[in-house]
């Protein structure tokens, strides 16, 4: 049961961080970052297999692969920027966190813009 492993890790890390924070508050942040990274790494192989399946499904679909690729990229960017901004927010640096989110939004926009513009071109072409 993988979920026990992860919940156990999470609770242990939380307790450790609470105890350590009383003496050295800055080490609590280190522990929370490390716990987040470890949980993510534990899940990475399963996530990869899920994405693989979805990707093979889109092969059967009569659809361009570009869209799926950009969707995966967008989801990845959203996750990573979320992780970074949460860590910053935990340390009380909410302004840096919002900057990270801003950067994530811009990168998502860069990826989404071609799709958006091609839809727009298409609709214009549909007009008689």
Partner 1 sequence: MIEIIKGWIINIVTIILILSFLEILLPDSKMKKYINLILGFIVMLVILGPIINVLNNNGELQQDVFSISGQLSKNEYAFINSNIENRQEEQLASLYKERIKQDIVYRVESRYDVKVTEVYIELEDSKKEEMGEIKKLELSVGNKNYQLDEDTIPIVKIDVSNEDINEIDSNDVDDMSVSLKKKIKEDISNIYNINENNVEIMN
Q: Catalog residues that contact partner 1 under the rule CB under 8 A.
A: 47, 50, 54, 57-58, 60-64, 66-67, 70-71, 74-75, 78-79, 81-82, 101, 104-105, 108-110, 112-119, 121-122, 125-126
Our CB check for partner 1 shows the closer of 19 and 61 to be 61
Contact criterion met (CB below 8 Å) for 44 and 58:
no
Rounded Cα distance, 31 and 50, in Å: 29
Our CB check for partner 1 shows the closer of 41 and 126 to be 126
Q: How far is the CB of 92 from partner 1 (least distance, A)?
A: 19
Tokens representing 68 are 């799926």
- List Cβ<8 Å contacts ≥24 apart for 30-33: 32/87, 32/90, 33/87
Q: How far is the CB of 118 from partner 1 (least distance, A)?
A: 4
Q: How far is the CB of 61 from partner 1 (least distance, A)?
A: 5
2-23 and 25-60 helices cross at what angle (nearest 10)?
150
Q: How far is the CB of 12 from partner 1 (least distance, A)?
A: 24
Residue listed under structure tokens 């214009």 = 124
Our CB check for partner 1 shows the closer of 1 and 126 to be 126
């Amino acid at each position: 049961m993988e979920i026990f492993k992860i919940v156990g890790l999470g609770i242990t890390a939380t307790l450790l961080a609470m105890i350590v924070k009383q003496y050295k508050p800055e080490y609590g942040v280190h522990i929370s970052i490390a716990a987040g990274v470890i949980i993510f790494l534990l899940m990475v192989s399963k996530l990869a297999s899920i994405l693989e399946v979805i990707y093979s499904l889109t092969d059967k679909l009569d659809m361009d692969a570009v869209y799926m690729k950009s969707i995966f990229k967008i989801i990845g960017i959203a996750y990573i920027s979320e992780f970074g901004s949460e860590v910053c927010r935990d340390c009380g640096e909410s302004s840096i966190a919002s900057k990270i989110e801003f950067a994530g939004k811009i990168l998502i926009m860069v990826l989404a813009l071609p799709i958006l513009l091609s839809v727009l071109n298409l609709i214009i072409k549909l007009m008689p």
